[in-house]
Amino acid sequence: MIIKMKKVLLFTTNSTAEVDSDLTRLGQLGIVHISPFQPAQDESIDRVDARIKQMEKAISVLDSVAEMAHIEAASEELEDYENIDRGEIALMEKILDTEYKRVRYRNHLIELENALDWYNQWGDISIKEIEDLKAAGFFVKLYLLDKQELKTLPDQDNIYHLGKAGELNQVMLLAEKEEDSLNFEEVKIPQFEYAELEESIAETRRKRDEKLSQIKQLYNFRPILEHALIERIRRYDVRTIQYEGQAIDEHVRYWKGFIPVKDVDTFIKEAEEHSWGYIVEDPSEEDLEEVPTLIKSPRWVERIRPVMNFMGLVPGYEEIDVSRIFLLFFTFFTGILVGDAGYGLVFFLLTLLVHRSRKFTKKVEFQLMYTLSGSIILWGVLTGTYFGSEKIADLWVLHHLKVDALASFGGDNIFLQKLMFMIGAVHMSIGHLQLAWRYNNSVKALSHLGWISVIWGLYTVVNKMVLAIDIPEITMWLFIGGAVLIALFSNPGRNFFKGMLASLGNLPLSIINGFSDIISYIRLYAVGLATVLMATSFNEMAIGEGFTTVASVVGGVIILILGHGLNIILAAMAVIVHGVRLNMLEYSGHANVEFTGTEYEPFKLKNNKLKNNNSKKD
């Protein structure tokens, strides 16, 4: 059910302190969806945002070092950050500065260790001697070449093969010009003397660890930063809302928003308590595109919410809530599209394992997966499909659970296709029934009853064209009666004949679309059949003439695991593509739902404690 909304105009004084206090209270209330007059832009917002990023980085640094068990906290004398003015800023800057120096030492240590590795590879080469050669007009250039590259070297007196480093050859070019080089990647010579490296590495490592110890000591002040971050986030949220509002003059600022009808009394009580000005009224026609959508569904329906959120499906405020029908038919479609009780059992067990690893937390995602697994298992049992094996389906107990007309092996394909078309007709008819109920106080409801009549007429035509089933005599009257109701009542208004002509003009194209929509439901049969055929093919590939050798057993098991694994993945993709599509396009199109809504997101502060630190800088 889509909750009814009221439009709210909120007025407060335009002083910075009052706006901050009033909007903080509004955020604590957490029931008003703000519709901005313009994007929030102000230098103070950018400044607070930058400070938030700095504090988050400082906290991240503290947390990362706290996990280093081998590092002991320093015991230096520190400032009393909790009691000094702007102590949280001084603490943050101390952490970030110490981290900056630690990173510098770490990077320098990496350079030194790389240089030591270079010397271990090339030997104790004196940097001073290389510089002396450079001053004398000789330039040393080093290369590591493989065997094939070595053969391509020109025969020159200034090229020397020095030795080998693993599988590569060490080559030196003693050039007389600095720009001379070989056509290979040059090995850079470090700028550190070998004799000084070990001492430099030890000293740099000591300084790096010293900074880590200082950061670990600062971890004790983490709550100061955490509280400061919460306050900055509050300021950021409040100032964003502040500048989305409009100033009437220097003294008054106001905002436009929307609030659920059930929360109006709470808002009015709060407004009067804090001396806010306000207007609460029904949204006008011009406001309807801005009104957010708040859906309240029974608990059992909420399990479809992850799918709709993933697809970004939010019905408009003036549209109908399709979540119940979406869940029921999506569950049904999933069973048909996968259609294998063995696969359903795999889905169920995987869900159970993941759910168990999460200590059986109550989440709608798991409820949805259990529901879909049950649907797959049920349809697989009814069709006698177990990992695409006919032999399993013929076992005594399972054989008696199978419905012969639905059976994957030896079933009635004509009946199955007719059933899919019937499902489509029912699905689309429900959309028009929902609209008819919505317009139960208007003659427009009759036009949707007319569409139901046309849909069932189209159903008989589809059966004739696809399955060669004779069209019943009632079909003509279904079209005539439906067309009359659609023409007369689709556009009720002052100009009756103009509305009727418009309805008749759109009718042929709408009927063609309805025909293609019903045909579209054949995908349920086709994809389900493809899943069974693929499973059967993999079984035949794996088992063939039987298992006669160990190799045939191993190969067969591998083919079964990989083949059925691939088939399960493809079946899951089919559910996402086809199961969602039939709900999102075919059904929703007949229910006039375009999913163009904006989700209800009230301005709500995460921290529920009112803080008033307006005198402090950001």
Residues 6+ apart with CB under 8 A from 436: 445, 446, 448, 449, 452
187: which 2 tokens?
């090995």
Dihedral of CA atoms 429, 433, 434, 436 in degrees, nearest 10, equals 140
Is 0.85 surpassed by the pTM of this model? no
pLDDT for the residue numbered 533: 93
Is the Cβ–Cβ distance between 509 and 461 less than 8 Å? no
Of 71, 73, 89, the C-alpha closest to 81 is 89
Residue 454 and residue 490: Cα distance in Å, rounded?
14
Of 333, 362, 335, the C-alpha closest to 348 is 335
pLDDT for the residue numbered 127: 84
Residue 306 and residue 303: Cα distance in Å, rounded?
7
Is the Cβ–Cβ distance between 88 and 95 less than 8 Å? no
SS3 140: strand
pLDDT for the residue numbered 496: 65
Residue 375 and residue 388: Cα distance in Å, rounded?
17
Q: Which residue has the tokens 């800057």?
A: 93
Backbone angles phi, psi at 138, to 5 degrees: -120, 130
pLDDT for the residue numbered 71: 82
Residue 125 half-sphere exposure toward CB, CA atoms < 13 A: 24
Residue 162 and residue 397: Cα distance in Å, rounded?
80
DSSP, residue by residue, 174-217:
EESSTT---SSPEEPPPSS-HHHHHHHHHHHHHHHHHHHHHHHH
**Sign (positive/negative) of CA torsion 368, 374, 378, 381?**
positive
pLDDT along the chain (618 residues), means of 10: 94 90 93 94 93 95 88 84 90 95 95 92 86 90 92 89 90 90 91 88 94 93 94 94 89 94 95 93 92 93 91 92 95 95 95 90 88 96 93 87 91 94 96 93 92 96 94 94 89 70 80 93 94 92 77 88 94 93 93 92 73 42
Of 22, 97, 111, 110, the C-alpha closest to 54 is 97
516: which 2 tokens?
């293609």
Which DSSP letter does residue 545 get?
Answer: T
User: In sequence order, which ranges of 84-189 are alpha helices (DSSP H)?
Assistant: 87-122, 127-135, 147-151
Residue 618 and residue 231: Cα distance in Å, rounded?
10
Cα 227 to Cα 223, 231, 233, 276, 611, distances in angstroms:
6, 6, 10, 29, 11
Domain ranges of the chain: 126-188, 302-590
